């Protein structure tokens, strides 16, 4: 604590952090504690690159990892407010810290914030990360993945739209190797649950059915309408599927 306070006082009475350094050497402060406090000090001042460099040092036993992760995730939003330009490096620092420290993410608000961050960066990677979490956490995290991919209000978060478009994210989403339970959960969430208000929710369900070859379900659908694109809409597409299937469309669970 004294070392931390002296780092604040050093610039007022000495050059750089001479006072704090002299104190640390005088009391023989262990290098790992020294490095950890340096990291916290930098984190409090939104110097995230310096903070992560110190807080991921191999000699440090991870301490307050969830709190540090939350600060890295939410602190990026504070940079513009204090007239500090946010760079590409700041966007990858939470992931760098996660990969080095493996914080438990036991706090739901930290876990949800990390899920939003990761979903905005890579849909497929987020899906496989969700699989590493306990069973009771997976459905809420899948909901966050769906929201970050489809919901208009969150499009501008994460990687730039030019680099990772909403269309790219949606194509990844409908191609994920879902289990039968996940398939049912996601379809119900997008048709009957909170996700039904997401833009293109029904379109996403239909695209998933087509991608998985569930053509009988496509032909039997009575809800999806969508916009006409290039002279084609869901009604005309479903009509073509019905003709193509012929009598097979009445076979329960027919998959191409």
In sequence order, what DSSP letters do the residues of 118-176 get, joined into one string?
HHHH-HHHHHHHHHTS-HHHHHHHHHHHHHHHH-GGGTTSSS-TTTS-HHHHHHHHHTS
**Number of independent structural domains in the chain:** 3
Same-domain pairing of 100 and 178: no
Whether the CB-CB separation of 255 and 214 falls below 8 Å is answered with: yes
For residue 197, what are the domain limits?
115-155+163-212
Within-domain flag for 110: no
pTM (whole model) above 0.85: no
If asked whether residues 22 and 79 sit together in one domain, one would say: yes
Asked if 207 and 219 sit in the same domain, the reply is: no
Same domain, 79 and 122: no
Question: Are residues 88 and 20 part of one domain?
Answer: yes
pLDDT tens track, the chain, 256 positions: 655 665 665 555 555 557 566 555 555 566 777 688 888 888 988 889 999 999 999 988 899 999 999 999 998 777 666 666 666 778 899 999 999 999 999 999 999 999 999 999 999 999 999 999 999 999 999 999 999 999 866 555 555 556 788 889 999 999 999 999 999 999 999 999 999 999 889 889 988 988 888 878 777 776 666 665 555 666 666 677 777 766 665 555 555 4
Alpha-carbon dihedral sign for residues 239, 245, 246, 252 = negative
């Amino acid at each position: 604590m004294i070392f931390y306070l002296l780092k604040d006082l050093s610039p007022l009475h000495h050059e750089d952090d001479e006072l704090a350094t002299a104190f640390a050497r005088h009391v023989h402060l262990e290098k790992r504690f020294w490095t950890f406090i340096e990291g916290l000090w930098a984190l409090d001042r939104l110097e995230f690159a310096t903070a992560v460099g110190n807080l991921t040092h191999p000699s440090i036993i991870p301490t307050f990892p969830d709190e540090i992760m939350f600060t890295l995730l939410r602190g990026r939003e504070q940079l513009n407010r204090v007239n500090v330009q946010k760079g590409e490096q700041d966007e990858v620092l939470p992931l760098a810290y996660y990969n080095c420290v493996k914080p438990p993410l036991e706090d739901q608000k930290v876990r949800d914030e990390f899920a939003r961050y990761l979903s905005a960066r890579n849909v497929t990677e987020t899906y496989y990360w969700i699989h590493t979490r306990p069973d009771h956490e997976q459905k809420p995290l899948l909901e966050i993945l769906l929201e970050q991919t489809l919901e208009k209000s969150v499009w501008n978060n994460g990687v730039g739209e030019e680099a990772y478009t909403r269309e790219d994210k949606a194509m990844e989403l409908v191609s994920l190797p879902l289990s039968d339970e996940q398939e049912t959960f996601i379809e119900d969430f997008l048709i009957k649950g909170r996700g039904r208000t997401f833009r293109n929710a029904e379109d996403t369900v239909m695209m998933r059915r087509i991608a998985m070859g569930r053509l009988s379900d496509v032909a039997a659908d009575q809800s999806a309408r969508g916009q006409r694109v290039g002279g084609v809409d869901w009604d005309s597409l479903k009509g073509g599927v019905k003709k193509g299937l012929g009598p097979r469309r009445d076979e329960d669970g027919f998959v191409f």
